Structure 1
Amino acid sequence: DINPVAPSDAGAAPQNPGMYQLDILLKKGHNLAIRDRGGSSDPYVKFKIAGKEVFRSRTVHKNLNPVWEEKTSLLLDGLRDALYVKVFDYDFGLQDDFMGSAYLYLESLEHNRTLDVTLDLKDPHYPDHDLGTIEMSVTLTPKEKDFRETQQSLRLSEVHQKAQLWRGIVSVSLIEGRGLKPMDANGLSDPYVKFRLGHQKYRSKTMYKTLNPQWREQFDFHLYEDHGGFVDITVWDKDAGKKDDFMGRCQVDLSILSKEHTHKLELPLEEGEGMLMLLVTLTASTAVSISDLSVNILDDPHERQQIFNRYSLLKSLHNLKDVGMVQVKVIRAEGLMAADVTGKSDPFCVVELSNDRLQTHTVYKNLNPEWNKVFTFNVKDIHSVLEVTVYDEDRDRSADFLGKVVIPLLNIQNGERKAYVLKSKELTRPTKGVIFLEMDVIFNAAKAGLRTFVPSEQKYIEEEPRVSKQMLLQNFTRVRRCLVFLVSTGYYINSCFEWESPQRSTCAFLDLNIVSSCSPGRWYRFGLLLVKPKKHILEEV
């Protein structure tokens, strides 16, 4: 083993400033620092080069000797910058705690040889503290003639990583809580629940004054990793005007749950009292991809022929669930609705086929966005419909709906670029704008016919109820008009009493006398008094 905590010649420039590939196997940690109250930690590792994060490991929960066994490959332009390794303790809803760091100086590594490396973790503020070690193996390989091909391959891989394609859907139903801990002076609590899977978060509604809340809420997370992951769950007591009280935590290990099956889970709360009841369903989502127009498999004659051969009639008895594939080119949109107060929108496009859902990047402050993205889906039922929806991105709230198009797969004309009018959510009327799409569907007719007799796939992704910005603006406009009407009516009545217009006040005087003639005498006299000119009132006084 080696422990390269300092460069062999820190002041010297690298002998070869060319391209290198650094292959890293992050193995495990040993005797890491304690950061949680239970005497443990939830460690994960970050790699940085030249201040840029290039890798982040998964989190190993409640373990001071974690085993990761994760691989990554980095393409380096020179060896001057060291690999900065940082370890953190994951804290749900809070800032993650620092657990130590170390440097791996790349200039000290021998080329074309796999080396076992042990890094001593230190805290720069407390250099004498022992924070444990990280073990990994590294291989540094110079890239000469083939570095361009390697760079292109990594760049294509980054296209897919940036798209953040998910492997499946985690459908969670929060049913109820039982026997929760009382946190308020009245012996009750106002509980709500926070969920987190990776960077995805969800917060339930608050149930007031109860220890046995009934939520009955359903939401979905996207599953990005084949091996599952952990859903972190915390329960909190809502306190107005001060910090909410922590009531307990629990976890769901998705790796032990079977897919295509609904699991009823009763989870006891750690560091608290009571339990939560959940329904969790994992649904697989396979054979989906996203790329730029420049990376389009159907434009390559060889690739296209291979796909036709895959779905030829000769392959009708092979993998009956793989009916075909559909490719959707999302080109651009024109004349979209202005959803922001600036008269612009921040549009992005979501393409869905059954439980597969992909989206483009956001084009900011534009009513005529260009995306130029290619989406590829696996077809399991040729009678499915393709849904293309355009949203306006809002950083502080849910995205606003701008319009959608629904296209049955059987209605697609291969290779035809067409402008589709965006419609409302209910598809009953057009909204503003059009979207330009080009689609190709290739399928096996025999498999498609057999799949007709199989029940259609249940869709787990349902649109969450959200407050529409357009509806808020409409309601605000209505309230403003009502207020303006009331204020105007008040000014009009006051002007009658003030005799600013003799004709108007005379008409009001006659109308009031006619109405008050049906009333008792005292009201009649009081009405006459109200509409008399001020000078007559003063004379009588």
Structure 2
Amino acid sequence: MMTNLKLGVEVVSAHDLLPKEQGTSNPFVEIEFDDQKFRTAIKDRDLNPFWNEQFYFNISDPSRLQEKDLEAYVYHANRTSISKTCLGKVRISDDPSVRVSPPGQDFDFISTPTTAQEHAATNANPNLFQENRADQVRQFQHLPRDQHRPQPMTAQPYYSDGSYGQEQQRSYSAVGSKTEGPQVVRMHSAGPQQPLEFQLKETSPMLGGGRVIGGRVIPGEKAGPYDLVEKMQYLFVHVVKARELPQMDITGSLDPYVEVHLGNYKMKTKYFEKNQRPEWDEVFAFPKEVMQSTLLEVVVKDKDVLRDDHVGQVMIDLNEVPIRVPPDSPLAPEWYRLVGKDGHRDRGELMLAVWYGTQADECFPSAIHAGSTPVDSHLHNYIRGKVYPVPRMWYLRIKVIEAQDIIPKENHIANVFVNVRLGHQMLKTRPARSPTKNFMWNEEIMFVVAEPFEDDLIISIEDRVAQNKDEVIGETMIPLQRLPKRMDNKPVRPAWFDLRRPGLIELNQLKEDKFYAKVHLCLCLEGGYHVLDESTQYCSDVRPTMKQLWKPPIGLLEVGILSANGLNPTKTRHERGSCDAYCVAKYGQKWVRTRTIVDNLNPRFNEQYTWDVFDHGTVLTIGLFDNCHISGDSNHTSSPSHMDKPIGKLRIRLSTLETGRVYTHTYPLLVLHPSGVKKMGELHLAIRFSATSLLNVFFTYSRPLLPKMHYAQPLSIVQQEMLRHQAVQLVAERLGRMEPPVRREVVEYISDAQSHLWSMRRSKANFFRLMQVFSGFIAAGKWFGDVCQWKNPVTTVLVHVLFVMLVFYPDLIPPTIFLYMFLIG
């Protein structure tokens, strides 16, 4: 007998699945209940899949409902064959979720086995609870066949700037009661409906200044300059140069390089061709906590085609290595005699410096860090951490007023426009027609330029002779160094500029055509704006370009990038998932990049950076990326991918930080995919904001937030978007010219270069915000419509009586309104 009851199951997500192929898997879920089976979609190469799919089972016999089991199997789909591999399962038997329970009763959630042994153990003993590695959230409901499907559990908005509350535990309870009609039992979150894995988690790590508990530092040993990161000991080996090396090849040449051996670690310098006095000047850092030997071996070798020859070596006892503590001066290098395999000391000399230090050492950012995966010497520059200053940028305002004595090349009514070009940027005015030789435009054009000014401004007058054909009538070149700079809205006097015909080379012809034509322009460089974050809500610097308008700093921001946990594999290495992660942080005019941790899904950075803060209403942006220069194959010299893959990004508003408090949290890295929000891992940070002077803070907020030019000559939204795009491209070009370069995709991802594009998700969010704003008016209109349609006769009669009273006694209108407001309040 078929009933009108259904069992609703919602498969939401899974995390930390067991990899099967090349460090990842292709998971899907099969659900079985009452001889019925459903299957979700397959998520390709995803260890943290997100399905959000709903299924409904027919209940054949409600009286035997408690005897039936609901089973959900997680499988890995083999693309090379039709087979599938079981990753684990969930079995729910005799569960409260399949019967009506009084409100407040808790549900038990059965864990999922993840291995074949756990799978067999669970089949043998269904009550065996294992640790859950594929923790799937499901929603169970009894619904009549003709009733609408329920809405899935929705998570609370996640604010990646760190402005949401503390972590709260999730509990599951049943709601409903035994009543006639449709019976609904729903598993829901009693607390906030944001998933636990998407929430901010507070930690208590042991940092350089002591253990952090509740935002306060419990002092330990003496705090050093890096008190927001864990103090890590390193063995630094500085390979400087060599001299008097012997000739190894038959031709008398030598291609030397150095190998540094310490236990299982082996690091190599670059090699020089035919050089017996090479200078490497490279520093290697070995973590002290994983050192497995007390003997350091430094070997000089000769690079050869078949087999590298042994030149000489130096053996250093690590028990005799000194400890250097900044701000001590750097350790002086020393010449060591190289010893050959036969024990002779006539193999030349090698200059070395070996010492113990921490990440506070000035050699730490430029050092080559030893890891489980060796990196070729030509890739060392791409894995080092650096600090990148952003160039000062100006707005270039060009007002094209008019032009005189313009002679077109053909006998027709000229359709003349002005083409303004600056480097790769180019803008045009509207075409102007005139039967005379004089043309008028009165249009403003704006560019973004950066110091030092390398490109000249080129103004050209062009005539549109055909639909896709423009001819240059005259042009002029203006150096940017000669333009006036202004920081207020005082008018700039326009000037006339001589135009020259294109292609003029002879000096006599240039003199004859000196007054050939003129263009009337008003040019200036404006420093009363801040440029890069002009049109975004995530502003990291509100200072203008002009230094005369800068305010004194109100505080200091210190950020310790500790580690990243549970990163999703971005490449395969030796048939397993791998990632070469590094962080990029942006605040104000200073960008920082940590070193790249090679082949590690749980990298430890432990690097600390500081910024001057000039305004509380700013945002710190930190992104995590995978280094594309290091190939994921076993052969690292193969061609790498062309882009650094973004792993995740977070923002922290300084206005939410308490002065003097140390915030140690793990921030989830969330990425929006077409299938939904996906967690890519967690980033562990330690943050502290310190106010230098309370008087400076009051003084800063007693003045206008932005310079006067923002209010005197505001930019339109279209101008802001266009100019900000130019600024992002300019910053990407400048940072890409540094060593190691910050790639263009990294700059665009951190700066939200695509924020101006249309988004369905953003449009829906804005629509619901507007609906919430006008919800009161909509509710009032709906109530008035119900009154007019006599939906509730008692309410309609009372409204008519009140209306008649107010008509005859209009003095009662204000008291009635205030009484209604009092009752509502």
TM-score under structure 2 length normalisation: 0.26
TM-score (norm: length of structure 1): 0.37
